[in-house]
Chains A and B, each alone.
Chain A
């Protein structure tokens, strides 16, 4: 019998439904794999009982002949940014350590309603701020991948959804939720050789997701195939009246409509993404990607996104500005950490609590955000950044006049060793240079594994689609997947 932990979402769902194995067997197999993979530090909290209870419910349904749901019997990892009732929801921060919400996020509830179970809460960069998973209060996640001949150096799984990418790549979870504010699904997916899609802004409810930058935050699935992403995104998405920015549109049946036939489709190649400092092997994978899409019947066209170079600076104004305000609620008054020094007044309590509760990167972004919103600087920074955001979105709108989807690298480099970039925040920020424009424009965007580089590390290709056209993105992703035949998996060392 196939090792259950090698199976993805579709295979597990169909296998459970078809009686090849029970949901409980699947949950037990993954619970064991999770328990054995503590060295990856992918989970902050494990919830084997949750996975088993959900599995038993699915098995019972099957026994009664009832429908099992789109994710029936699939245990998943839940990024620890989603509120889960009665289970610690920390955003990988000290300030929320021990916080157990009395509510369930809309996205996680949707997944449970679709028959999924929870293996545990996945590690991440603190408050989703980071690109390497090194800012977590609970220690960095380690990628299951290692450089060929790299003397067993621990590599970054990417961030902020690094627990998700590591767990899915290591086969200790068939799929996981992620959130993407400026590349936090796509970059870690690329680093670990898996798929991840950020849908159009508003597809997935933000209700119950710890906020980083409200106008950018979007949840999405991370899994090992395009089909699995389609299935899981369908379960996660949907209009939610509790989120005023939620899209009031029906959720299409993306899985059923998947097609790798790109005849008649035009794929745009943005010339501005050919940046100085981009790894040669990344550029090579991009060329390869064009070939694959041509092979799938698409026409490759050059497009221009002229404001691309301003996107990253604009992002690092807008996102910290929103974060500085969103994180004001962590003040020690109502929940979470409270540091009340002897004789302290209210202001002292705020200062002590927030000094102790937030990590360096979070503090850095709160400071940046506070600065750019200050009187006298607001127009120079925030207003300008919003204008750039409009121009970036306009760039995409113009490009989509000439093409159906855009192909680009996901990241400018492959994964890097842990602790190699954290002295230099700007270099770290640059890792999201290709991911951020689609975030600013609110567009659906996906990373699909393309190949291994000469170090034996995965490289991803990014597909960006028109607003609401997740189908188009998934179809291009499927065409790449079928031609890349990416079968590589990290050798188990943990």
Chain B
């Protein structure tokens, strides 16, 4: 087993990582107001009286946001707290109209859970690992300040103010950038399966606070730093790499690590101090007196549980055991919602078209979905119209291939035309001559001709030079202009050559 270690002057160091992931809850309205949450609207066009903290305005919890947090908790097999409460986190900032953020400090809605990451030797994860999750709580997002609109003033956009976030807090269970990367990817995948967060890191729907400390293996935890608002998997890994090495340098030069909040600069790949522990706010948390405790009823929990889809781990296991896919294919197909959705649609259509159980065509469909189809799409680049990549069209190609009507090469060619034009695959195969000849008469005629023209080679073959079989196949295919069904060619050649 190879562990991630930092080689310092004084020996090896182990890195300890915990992540707080902020995930925007997928819901039409904000956590405590009816204002819209759509991304990219005109500044301050999605702000209710509550979001702007007008005098006398009151928060009312949005049931859908609570539901999504509970479903997420269930998806990571966490304890769901039937009693939870909202607290106010008090601080002044121009993007925080109320002067406090409504969050859950003392009684979060979701308690301890866990998440599995899979071994990936190439990525540096030697074995499967379970990462503990401490809690999930729901809270309000803040607004946004814009400093580039005016020479001396800052502008405030409150569209995000009050949008519901889930804060998913891991335990300090990760030991390498690769594990942290795998954790974020897996968490993102689960959130997207559940539909509780779109996982769009570019739009800020998901971002991580990265806690890093180092220690000599076997020693107690070191002092950690927290790097805020890191918004891609790659950056999370960069932060860890940089922070761990920086901390080792500090410690080996006789210094000590300050417990502080840091910022990541994606341009340089480095982190810098944002505020030290001494400057830390006293947030004066206390229960929000505008809100009653949340008490979840069994019926609500049952509904949440019943609404959960098949989750990545279960789906992957099923793909291997029931569909007979390789572990690699199963993992690749289940990583993203879009991928498995496309695969399952295509699998169903193909199985139906061919008239065989899904398990019998799954490998063919998986290979197509994972390598053939994306390869064609990629090679066409701009020329491909993704709208033409329908399940029906692809299923029809796979159907023809399974029946031996077209070869693998022809399947690709047909699919290219489909992607460019949207034409029907069957029609393309007919009109473009992209069909294999399985007509034994035509193939026999061609083979008879070849045998007649190559009597010397036939004699050699019959004399024991088996390798010449390939020569005959090649000649036949050439004569058939590449359109003969190889299986039929093989069979007839074997019969005739004896």
* Cβ–Cβ contact B97 & A244, under 8 A: no
Which residues on B sit within 8 Å (CB–CB) of A241?
60
Considering only residues 183-233 of chain A, those with a C-beta below 8 Å from chain B are 206-211, 213-215
> CA of A329 to CA of B92 in the docked complex: distance in angstroms?
9
Which of the 9-residue segments A39-47, A97-105, A168-176, A431-439 touches chain B?
A97-105
The count of chain A contact residues (Cβ–Cβ below 8 Å) is: 44
Is B52 in the interface zone, CB < 8 Å from A?
A: yes
Given contacts A213-B289, A328-B99, contact A370 B284 (CB under 8 A): yes
Residues of A within 8 A of B292 (CB): 244-245
| CB atoms of A334 and B53 under 8 A apart | yes
A395 CB to nearest B CB, Å: 21
The reply on B404 being an interface residue by CB < 8 A is: no
Q: Which of B52, B58, B92, B289 contacts A350 (CB 8 A)?
A: B92
Chain B residues within an 8 Å CB radius of A279: none
Q: A89-B55, A333-B94 are in contact. Are A103 and B49 (CB under 8 A)?
A: yes
Q: Mark B275-293, 1 if CB is under 8 A from A, else 0.
A: 0000000101110011110
B61 interfacial by beta-carbon distance below 8 Å = yes
Residues of A within 8 A of B61 (CB): 244
Q: Does A316 interact with chain B (Cβ within 8 Å)?
A: no
Q: A370–B286 Cα gap in the complex (Å)? A: 11
Which residues of the partner chain B approach A105 to less than 8 Å between Cβ atoms? 56
Query: Does B97 lie within 8 Å of A325, measured CB to CB?
Result: no
Report if A403 contacts B (CB, 8 A): no
Residue of B nearest to A245 (CB): B292
Given A325-B286, A333-B156, also A206-B56 (CB < 8 A): yes
CB of B100 within 8 Å of the partner chain: yes
Q: B98 on the interface (CB 8 Å rule)?
A: yes
User: Are A329 and B60 in contact, with the CB atoms below 8 A?
Assistant: no
Min distance, Cβ A84 to any Cβ of chain B, angstroms: 11
Taking a contact as CB atoms under 8 Å apart, the answer to whether A244 and B55 are in contact is: no
With A325-B88, A325-B99, A334-B97 in contact, is A242–B286 under 8 Å at CB?
A: no
Q: Is A375 an interface residue (CB 8 A)?
A: yes
Interface residue? A60 (CB, 8 A): no
The answer to whether B58 and A243 touch across the interface, beta carbons within 8 angstroms, is: yes
Q: Are A214 and B156 within 8 A (Cβ)?
A: no
Compute how far the CA of A324 lies from the CA of B285 in the bound complex, rounded to whole angstroms: 12
Interface residue? A96 (CB, 8 A): yes
Q: Is the CB of A322 within 8 A of B289?
A: yes
Q: Which residues in A have their C-beta under 8 angstroms from that of B94? A: 331, 333, 346
Q: How far is the CB of B314 from chain A (nearest CB, A)?
A: 37
Shortest CB distance B46–A (Å): 15
**A482 located at the interface, meaning its Cβ lies under 8 Å from any Cβ of chain B in the complex:** no
**Chain A nearest Cβ from B260, distance in angstroms:** 18
- B55-A329 in contact (CB<8A): yes
Pick the contact of A325 from B54, B60, B100 — CB < 8 Å? B100
Contact B92 A328 (CB under 8 A): yes
Chain B minimum-CB-distance residue to A345: B154
- Chain B CB within 10 Å, residue with most, of A82, A99, A207: A207
Contact B58 A242 (CB under 8 A): yes
- A373 contacts B by Cβ under 8 Å: yes
Q: Min CB distance, B288 to chain A, in Å?
A: 8
A241–B33 alpha-carbon span in the complex (Å) = 12
Tell me whether A207 and B57 are in contact (CB under 8 A): yes
Assess whether A334 is in contact with B282, with CB atoms less than 8 Å apart: no
> Which residue of B has the minimal Cβ distance to A370?
B284
> A214 and B289 in contact (CB under 8 A), knowing A329-B99, A333-B97, A373-B90?
yes
Set of chain B residues within 8 Å of A244, measured between Cβ atoms: 58-61, 290-292
B97's partner among A103, A329, A375 (CB-CB below 8 A) is: A329
List A contacts of B90 (CB < 8 A): 324-325, 328, 373
In the complex, what's the smallest C-beta–C-beta distance from A102 to chain B, in angstroms?
A: 8
Minimum CB–CB distance from B289 to chain A (whole Å) comes to: 4
Within 8 Å by CB of B52, from A328, A334, A382, lies A334
Query: Is residue A292 contacting chain B, with contact meaning CB distance below 8 A?
Result: no
| Cα separation A211 to B52 with both chains bound (whole Å) | 15
The smallest C-beta distance from A128 to any residue of chain B, in angstroms, reads 12
Q: Which residues of B contact A329 (CB under 8 A)?
A: 53, 55, 97-99
Q: Which residue of B lies closest to A209 (CB)?
A: B56
Residue A378 is within 8 A (CB to CB) of chain B in the complex:
yes
A441 at the interface (CB under 8 A from B): no
Q: Is the beta-carbon distance between B100 and A328 smaller than 8 angstroms?
A: yes
Q: How far, in Å, is B367 (CB) from chain A's closest CB?
A: 55
Closest to B93 in A: A346
The chain B residue sitting closest to A240, CB to CB, is: B58
The residues of A that contact B99 with a CB separation of less than 8 Å are 325, 327-329, 331
In the complex, whether A335 has a CB less than 8 A from a CB of chain B is yes
| CB <8 Å contact, A206 and B58 | yes
Closest to A205 in B: B58
Please, how many angstroms separate the alpha-carbon atoms of A99 and B286 in the complex?
A: 29
Docked Cα-Cα span, A36 to B271, in Å, equals: 69
Chain A residues contacting B60 (CB-CB under 8 Å) are 241-244
A350 to B94, CA, bound (A): 10
Q: Please, how many angstroms separate the alpha-carbon atoms of A347 and B292 in the complex?
A: 33
Q: What's the least CB distance linking A205 to chain B, in Å?
A: 9
A321 within 8 Å of B (CB atoms): yes
Residue ID in chain A nearest B154 by CB atoms: A346
A-B contact pairs, 26 of them (CB 8 A): A89-B55, A101-B56, A102-B49, A207-B58, A208-B56, A208-B57, A211-B55, A211-B56, A243-B58, A244-B292, A245-B290, A245-B291, A245-B292, A325-B99, A325-B286, A329-B53, A329-B98, A334-B53, A334-B97, A335-B54, A346-B154, A347-B92, A370-B284, A373-B285, A373-B286, A378-B284
Per CB-CB distance, the 5 closest pairs between chain A and chain B, nearest first, are A328-B99, A373-B284, A215-B289, A214-B289, A329-B53
* A residues whose Cβ falls under 8 Å from a Cβ of B: 82-83, 89, 91, 96, 99, 101-103, 105, 206-211, 213-215, 241-245, 321-322, 324-325, 327-329, 331, 333-335, 346-347, 350, 370, 373-375, 378, 382
Chain B interface (Cβ < 8 Å from any Cβ of A): 49, 52-61, 88, 90, 92-94, 97-100, 154, 156, 282, 284-286, 289-292
A328-B98, A329-B99 given. 16 additional CB < 8 A pairs?
A89-B55, A101-B54, A101-B55, A101-B56, A207-B56, A210-B55, A242-B58, A242-B60, A243-B60, A325-B88, A325-B90, A325-B100, A328-B92, A331-B92, A375-B284, A378-B285
